[in-house]
Structure 1
Amino acid sequence: MAWAYLLIASVFEVVFALGTNATHGFTELGPSLLTAAAAAGGIFFLSLALKSLDVGVGYTVWTGIGSVGTVILGSVLFHEAVTPAKALAFVLIIGGVLGLKIADKLATAPSAA
């Protein structure tokens, strides 16, 4: 369940980041309320995930997925450029997230002694 909570937290993180852009310095009420709710939701679900996951793994995965999701949706919604260098960095972040998930699974697997 921890990884599901972490994925939900990451979705809230993306909404938070994109919402922050739409608040115009927290002068727009609707986007400001959405942004605050997304921040609270992200932290809540992250805290649930961290009951089972190491904080280093959980936080890194949360920010990694949030970062990649924000860049992808930022390019779609706000027409931000995705250069080859950015695309390579995204691939590296995704590889790191997958590596952390695999490492966590290996660390928690029962040993065959």
Structure 2
Amino acid sequence: MVELQEIHKKFQKELSAGTVSLALLSILAQSGEPLYGYQIGKLVGAGDDDSPGVMVKQGAIYPVLRSLETQGLLSSQREMSDSGPPRRYYQATNTGQEALQTWIKIWEETKSFVDNVLGGEYQ
């Protein structure tokens, strides 16, 4: 029999799959400046066991950033770092800004639906 803790972890992973893309795109659209992966991770509490809500592992951020870039929603640029290896800085593209507005509407509709169902208002 599957342990309840494993079921919770699987549910959290499935739930956070799309919300991480939304959160990262939103952060980069609002930042006003390009950010690199570690900075973004700190903003979303990646790897921080005390952070509430969706847990994002620092290493999980990079595939999402690359996917968003492949879709044309982000652009990136490598820059040398004074301390350590070069950093890849990401920023939202115009297409990313437009997509974010649609994603926010989809999120709000989805959240409203789930809130209604959880509140017993599903009829």
| TM-score where L is the length of structure 1 | 0.37
Higher relative contact order (CA 8 A, sep 6+): 1
Q: Which is richer in strand?
A: 2
Q: Which has the higher helix share?
A: 1
Q: TM-score, normalization: structure 2?
A: 0.35
Q: Which has the larger radius of gyration?
A: 2
